[in-house]
Structure 1
Amino acid sequence: MSTSISSPAEVDTDRLQAFIGQMVGDVGATLSAGLVLLGDRLGLYRAMADSRPVTAEELAERTGTSVAYLRPWLGNQAAGGYLSYDPATGTWTLPPEQAMALADESSPAFFAASMQLAVATLADLDAIESRFRTGEGFGWHEHDPGLFIGTERFFRPGYVANLVPAWLPALDGVEAKLNRGGHVIDVGCGHGASTVLMAQAFPSATFLGVDYHPESIAVARQRAVAGGVADRVRFDTAEAAELPDGAADLVTMFDCLHDMGDPVEAAARALQLVGEDGTLMLVEPMAGDHVEDNLHPLGRVFYGASTLICTPSSLDQPGRRALGAQAGPALLTDVLHAAGFSRVRVAASTPVNLVIEARR
């Protein structure tokens, strides 16, 4: 039996127009993601980071770019609230708040890399469309390489702001152990940002970072050398459920458990490593326990990431659990209990992160 679309008489035209307006905003935001990435790559934001008014011609000279391209770019950025425009002088300004988010990569508010992550993810849209039809997975290693770089750049400022100052101190007794010279295994370490930051903060401790992606491990080793911690940090290629033998005072999993095919098995292996008195720390996306808890702008971002990155990654691995980026504390607690942890609690949080402590 065929179905027909509702007739125009059944449509609330005011609501329709409001929704079309919303979609216009979404189209503008989608196109603007690429323009933010161009601004980041070309140094346009950095050239305006002093928050002084500049003409298009001055910015072109300052950055070695074409003024013909800059004019519409500047208009887009001002229309989106990223820049301000003074029609009296024909000048453009990057406000100091926007400069923190767009021009200063050391700022905990740096957000330009989120667009690098998003644009790289969209490059794989055809592959994800195919997986929608087949139900097959799409591994992390199959994504556009820009995703790996964007992920490191996007997550690192949050780790700098929170990992050593807040998250580790929130765990029971962990900071003291690391100061005495404990051992840490960082699972799903990617390019090693979290591992290197911890190693720099705790010079008496030793660290092992593991990831199944060889190309990321190669970059992580470079990061350890550049960070001056290569003598105490080792990076190896390994699956989360196949970690090398040896005791650990702390096992960490930063934004990766929900990507795993069998998170229970991975957590169970972590339990074996931490023994009777060690700790597993999970850092996961902030989420409520029910869909209706997550129907807001941040939830929209995380559901988008789950559709395009996290769920395909899990479906590419044995177990195919597909927790997704909005698992929530109740489901994560169930996973950890199933793995054998008896003490599980939310130890800390930020507007975008849940930090969960698990012990035997």
Structure 2
Amino acid sequence: MAAGKNVERITDAIRTNTGFGWHEHDPALFEGTERFFRQGYLANLVSSWIPALDGVDAKLAAGAKVADVGCGHGASTLLLAESYPMSKITGFDYHDRSVDLARTRAAEAGLAARLSFEVAAAADFPGTEYDLVAVFDALHDMPDPLGAAQHIRQSLKPDGTFLLVEPYARDTVEDNLNPVGRQYYTASTVVCVAHSMTEEPRTALGAQAGETRLTELLHDAGFTRVRRAAETSFNLIIEARP
């Protein structure tokens, strides 16, 4: 595991309760994380997740304004741009090296004219009147997921949609003691929670937050309609509306 290359520093951060930032990891972790989740996006995002959202597929096909927040290397962003050529899509990530790589991939794919990437954090990315804001497998890593969700709520059109894709988890520890849950708990300890502890309020939501906790957070952020739109063995797909 790429995180093991920094095991002594991560161990010390956990011991001292100081956290260890995503950007501090070996670049192999960024590549490995994308490879792990990208296959699920390729198999499900356009074929089943987007169609499971109320009216979103039609909006994207007609031309929508979309933000992919915490986009990393841009696997999900590029897929959306390829599948919905009429839409204008922007990927945001606080990690500048990931944004640089995502821009390169967009240019190589011939998508730069309708797809852009910018360095920005989830709690203050620019733009308003988005039809769709998506966060793929990233909200739980954030030090302030509530603040990020509130900003997303404010950035949406009144009839906009927040697509939240999170690692699959049930609501109790005992229900997550299975092969997938054990893998997520392990990664969460050394990567997700470690990053969340780097800044206030250090929520440490973790990869195994579960649907009930995520729904509560979204309601606290101002969303009035929250539902599970789809699921796989590896992901929960949640639709939230203003």
Q: How high is the TM-score relative to the length of structure 2?
A: 0.98
Quote the residue 2:106 is aligned against: 224
Question: Which has the larger Rg?
Answer: 1
Q: Which has the higher contact order (CA 8 A, sep 6+)?
A: 2
Q: Which amino acid aligns with 1:130?
A: D
1:212 to 94, 97, 101: 94
2:224 maps to which of 342, 350, 356: 342
- Residue 275 of structure 1 and its aligned partner are, at CA, apart by 2.7
The gaps in structure 2 that reach 5 residues or longer are none
Tell me how far apart the structure 1 counterparts of residues 127 and 46 of structure 2 sit (CA, whole Å).
Answer: 26
CA separation in 1, counterparts of 2:176 and 2:74? 30
- 1:119-141 CA-to-partner distances (Å, cap 9, x unmatched) read 21111111111012210010000
* Matched positions, count: 242
Moved over 3 A (4+): none
Q: Which of 173, 176, 195 does residue 55 from structure 2 map onto?
A: 173
Kept in 1: contact 2:89–2:114 (CA 8 A): yes
Q: Which residue of 2 aligns with 1:190?
A: 72
Q: Distance in 1 between matches of 2:63 and 2:180?
A: 38
Q: Deviations over 1:15-69 (max 9, x none)?
A: xxxxxxxxxxxxxxxxxxxxxxxxxxxxxxxxxxxxxxxxxxxxxxxxxxxxxxx
Identity %: 55
Residue aligning to 1:235 = 117
Q: Which residue number in structure 2 is paired with residue 128 of structure 1?
A: 10
Give the Cα–Cα distance (whole angstroms) in 2 for the partners of residues 350 and 278 of structure 1: 24
* Shift, 1:298, TM fit: 1.0
After the TM superposition, which residues 28-177 of structure 1 pair with which residues of structure 2 at under 5 Å, given as runs? 119-177=1-59
Distance 1:246 1:288 in 2: 33
- Structure 2 contact 141–196 (Cα < 8 Å) conserved: yes
Work out the CA distance in 2 between the residues paired with 1:239 and 1:317.
13
Is residue 222 of structure 2 the alignment partner of residue 325 of structure 1? no
SS of aligned partner of 1:249: strand
In structure 2, what is the Cα distance between the partners aligned to 1:229 and 1:289? 39
Name stretches of at least 5 consecutive residues in structure 1 with no aligned partner.
1-118
**1:270 Cα deviation from its structure 2 partner:** 0.6
Matched, 1:201 2:83: yes
For residue 262 of structure 1, what is the aligned residue in structure 2? 144
- AA partner of residue 341 (structure 1): F
Q: Distance in 1 between matches of 2:157 and 2:18?
A: 36
The amino acid that maps onto 1:264 is: L
Aligned to 1:295: 177
Using the alignment, how far apart are the partners of 2:217 and 2:153 within structure 1?
12
Q: 2:198 aligns with which of 316, 320, 324?
A: 316
Aligned residue number for residue 247 of structure 1: 129
Aligned partners of 2:35 and 2:179: how far apart in 1? 21
Amino acid at match of 1:234: S
User: Separation in 2 of the partners of 1:131 and 1:267?
Assistant: 27
Find the residue that maps to 1:261 and give its secondary structure.
Answer: coil
Per-residue deviation, 1:179: 0.8
- The CA distance in 1 between the partners of 2:112 and 2:219, in whole Å, is 35
- 1:52-93 CA-to-partner distances (Å, cap 9, x unmatched) read xxxxxxxxxxxxxxxxxxxxxxxxxxxxxxxxxxxxxxxxxx
Deviation at 1:256, TM superposition (A): 0.3
What is the distance in 2 between the residues matched to 1:165 and 1:227? 21
Residues 1:271 and 2:153 are matched in the alignment: yes
Please state how far the C-alpha of 1:355 moved relative to its aligned partner.
Answer: 0.2
Does the 8 A contact of 2:128 with 2:157 survive in 1? no
Following superposition, the deviation at residue 154 of structure 1 comes to 1.9
- The DSSP-based 3-state class of the residue aligned with 1:132 is helix
- Which structure carries more helix by proportion? 1
1:306 aligns with 2:193: no
Report the 3-state secondary structure (helix = DSSP H, G, I; strand = E; otherwise coil) of the residue aligned with 1:209.
Answer: strand
- Deviation digits for residues 192-224 of structure 1 (CA, Å, limit 9, x no counterpart): 010000000000000010000000000000111
Aligned counterparts of 1:344 and 1:246: Cα–Cα separation in 2:
21
CA-based RMSD of the aligned residues comes to 0.8
The equivalent position to 1:285 in structure 2, one of 163, 167, 172, is 167
Deviation at 1:246, TM superposition (A): 2.2
Distance 1:124 1:323 in 2: 22
3-state SS of paired residue (1:184): strand
Counterpart Cα distance in 1 of 2:113 and 2:80: 14
